Amino acid sequence: MSILRIAVVGAGPRANDYMATIAKLTDKYRFCALCDKNPERAKSAAEQHGAEAIYSDVDKMLQAEKPDVFFALTPTDSLSVMSIMSAEHKVNVIREIPIGITRQVANSVINACNENNVKMEIAENVWVWPHERLKKKIIESGILGKILHVRLWYTSGAYHGFNGVRMLLGSEAKRVLGYVGKVEVPTYTTYGGESSNIRFWETAIIEFENEVTCQFGKPLPGPRSNLWEIEGTEGYLSGSELFIFNGGKRYNIQDIYEEIDGNKVLDSVRIDTDPPIIWENPFKKYGISETDNIAKASILCSMYDALTKNVPLIYGAENAMRDLELCVAVFESGISGNKWIDLPIEHETEVERQIHEEFKRRYGHDPVTESNAMKDTVFTRASAIWTVAGWL
């Protein structure tokens, strides 16, 4: 079996979590190099996760190591710069979400990958969580009947929620009606470590091609956590609970564990209908068990299988663009008099224009056309899209 050489840029908490997963996939990946501008952080992460070489310059690492796969785990505004750099070195790339701060930036990355014949996977995790994989099987079983409505409540930004719902439905959105607001609140520390007294809220109606309607809300912080519900003619899914109208039966998703080498490892997730519906953990033999670590392994194996078996990526640029477009459409509708936005959107929207302007104000370069001028730029943790639209 082929073992691919993988190089990583970034040594923050999220990157360390991915490196821990890479270190377990020993029959698929060899961790050849790690790059981070902080030498102490890079040294610590490399020692912990077994990286063979340490760099402080991404360009030099790609040139010297020539890895099979490059994983960009740096701040959001930097990801497209990293991805284009990787493509120009003829190196396949995995990158954190989103695929671009706007669709125009995303297209510049897609073009670079196509021109250099490299693959790009986007590390969207929600839809490959074990419970989401089981929910997909529940919907496909037909036990819910015809799907009618989705209710999505996502407090930390829309992208992950849109992804989870869209992948469960297996259908594309056709139009969006959005409302957005910006309110002053007591000063707080943002995701990027900056002070702010502004928060955004969003709500929307999303109509899908399969006649399902989604009611979406991203409220101000409050007592309710993220939740999505799928309602059909025969029953509904609410979080991790299945309810069947006929007989009023309730079923909870169960996590089934097995002991392997003294450790409790997830074997499967199931729901005890008749017959039961089961999703089995394909990463059990690696000891990969926690929800998001299973998602990370799925993403890493997506690229591995695409390169070694010549199969499609499980998510890829097309899906990533669909999820990004929903974020754009909701906000654009909200700032454009709450008019319906038909999908796909064929033009640069006002919110995308504002994001481009904020990016240029911060870094002095156009995010679409001047990627190569930003190889040594220091990017802020909070993205330009956070400032303009309140997205992570």
Please tell me the distance from the alpha carbon of residue 86 to that of residue 82, in angstroms, as a whole number. Answer: 6
pLDDT score of 157: 72
pLDDT band for position 39 (50/70/90)? very high
Going by pLDDT thresholds of 50, 70 and 90, the confidence category of residue 1 is: low
Using a pLDDT cut of 90, give the percent of the chain over it: 92
d(CA 179, CA 158): 13
Q: Is the pLDDT of residue 334 over 70?
A: yes
Which of 177, 162, 131, 172 is closest to 392 using CA atoms?
162
Rg (CA), the chain: 21
Alpha-carbon distance of 110 to 319, in angstroms, equals 13
For residue 275, cis peptide bond before it (omega within 30 degrees of 0)? yes
**Residue where the block lists tokens 């640069």:** 348
Angle at 90 between CA 88 and CA 92, to 5 degrees: 110
In three-state secondary structure terms, 147 is strand
pLDDT tens-digit map of 56-83: 999 999 999 999 999 999 999 999 999 9
Mean pLDDT of 213-242: 92
pLDDT of 26 above 90:
yes
Sort strands 227-232 and 235-238 into parallel, antiparallel or unpaired. antiparallel
**Cα distance between residue 38 and residue 47, in whole Å:** 14
DSSP state of 338: S
Domain 129-283 architecture:
2-Layer Sandwich (3.30)
pLDDT of residue 106: 99
When pLDDT is averaged across residues 92-115 and rounded to a whole number, the result is 99
E-only strand ranges, 219-319 = 227-232, 235-238, 241-244, 249-252, 254-260, 263-271, 277-280
pTM as predicted: 0.96
pLDDT-derived band at 284 (thresholds 50, 70, 90) equals very high
Band (182; pLDDT cuts 50, 70, 90): very high
Instruction: Give the pLDDT of residue 392.
Output: 61
24 three-class SS: coil
Q: Output the CA angle 254-297-8, nearest 5 degrees.
A: 150
Domains 4-126+302-308 and 129-283 fall in the same CATH topology: no
Cβ neighbours for 247, distance < 8 A, ≥ 6 positions apart: none
pLDDT of residue 324: 98
Segment 167-191 mean pLDDT: 94
Torsion, CA 298, CA 151, CA 273, CA 270, rounded to 10: 20
Report the mean per-residue pLDDT for the chain. Answer: 96
| Cα–chain center distance at 67 | 23
CATH superfamily of 4-126+302-308: NAD(P)-binding Rossmann-like Domain (3.40.50.720)
DSSP class per residue in 152-171: EE-TT-SHHHHHHHHHHHT-
**Which residues is 254 bridged to in the sheet?**
270
CA distances (Å), origin 159, targets 28, 103, 174, 289, 359: 29, 14, 17, 25, 20
Span 240-268, mean pLDDT?
97
Domain ranges of the chain: 4-126+302-308, 129-283
Mean pLDDT of 17-31: 99
Contact 105, 367 (CB under 8 A): yes
Beta strands 263-271 and 277-280: pairing type?
A: antiparallel
pLDDT interval class at 193 (50, 70, 90): confident
Of 217, 218, 216, which Cα lies nearest the Cα of 199? 218
- Give strand pairing partners of 150: 214, 230
